[in-house]
């Protein structure tokens, strides 16, 4: 599958993985392959770049209408309800919705912070850089930033980073239950 992957292509890949456990890779890796995950792939739109993170529904904040998903790298907050507590789910995160920090942050409106290590940075001749993050515990997250931001921050392979995600950027309709 190429860079112009459609959601139905990814769904087909997931269904195939669920039927045949011999298929190489976990769902997060299948998504990356389906989405043409080689950063900077020819003609690929930065708005199509996404990651899939697996976590467990762990709580609901009824006062604010938020759902809490736990992951070893941190807590993911979703607007609205995403299913019953205890269920394992996958969340799609667009690379353009990720902001990077080299320090834990406070006093921001951002509710989700995921900790990890830079696995690689790919740049080209253009203004953007693609940063792959190995999240604490499990999973990979892709973030897009300007090359200038990466250079100014001094981020390199092996560095500790924090991925910041606005709750309003995550689509609770795109949360999928994992196979039993």
3-state SS track over the chain: CCCCCCHHHHHHHHHHHHHCCCCCCCHHHHHHHHCCCCCCCCCCCHHHCEEEEEEEEEEEECCCCEEEEEECCEEEEEECCCCCCCCEEEEEEEHHHEEEECCCCCCCCCCEEEEEEEEEEEECCCCEEEEEEEECCCCEEEEEEEHHHHHHHCCCCCCEEEEEECHHHCCHHHCEECCC
pLDDT at 160: 98
The CATH number of the domain holding residue 89 is 2.40.50.100
Determine, yes or no, domain membership for 105: yes
Instruction: Establish if 152 belongs to a structural domain.
Output: yes
Output the pTM of the full model.
0.76
* Alpha-carbon dihedral sign for residues 150, 161, 77, 107: negative
User: What token pair was written down for 106?
Assistant: 């406070």
Residue 1 lies in a domain: no
Q: Which tens digits make up the pLDDT trace of 82-109?
A: 888 999 999 989 999 999 999 998 899 9
pLDDT above 50: residue 167: yes
| Domain hosting residue 155, numbered range | 7-177
Number of domains into which the chain is organized: 1
Q: Is residue 2, in this structure, part of any structural domain at all? A: no
pLDDT at 1 exceeding the cut of 80:
no
Residue found by looking up tokens 């981020």 in the block = 155
């Amino acid at each position: 599958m190429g860079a112009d992957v459609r959601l139905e292509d990814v769904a087909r890949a997931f269904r195939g993985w669920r039927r045949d456990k011999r298929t190489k890779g976990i769902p997060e890796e299948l998504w990356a392959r389906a989405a043409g995950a080689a950063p900077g792939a020819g003609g690929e739109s930065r708005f199509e770049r996404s990651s899939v993170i697996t976590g467990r529904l762990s709580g609901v904040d009824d006062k604010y209408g938020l759902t809490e998903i736990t992951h070893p790298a941190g807590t993911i907050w979703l607007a609205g309800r995403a299913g019953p507590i205890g269920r394992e789910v996958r969340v799609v995160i667009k690379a353009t919705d990720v902001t990077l920090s080299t320090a834990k942050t406070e006093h921001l409106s951002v509710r989700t912070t995921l900790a990890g290590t830079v696995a690689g940075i790919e740049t080209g001749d253009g203004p953007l850089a693609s940063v792959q993050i190995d999240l604490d515990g499990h999973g990979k997250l892709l973030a897009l930033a300007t090359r200038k931001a990466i250079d100014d921050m001094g981020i390199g392979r092996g560095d500790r980073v924090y991925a910041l995600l606005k709750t309003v950027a995550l689509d609770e309709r795109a949360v999928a239950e994992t196979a039993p």
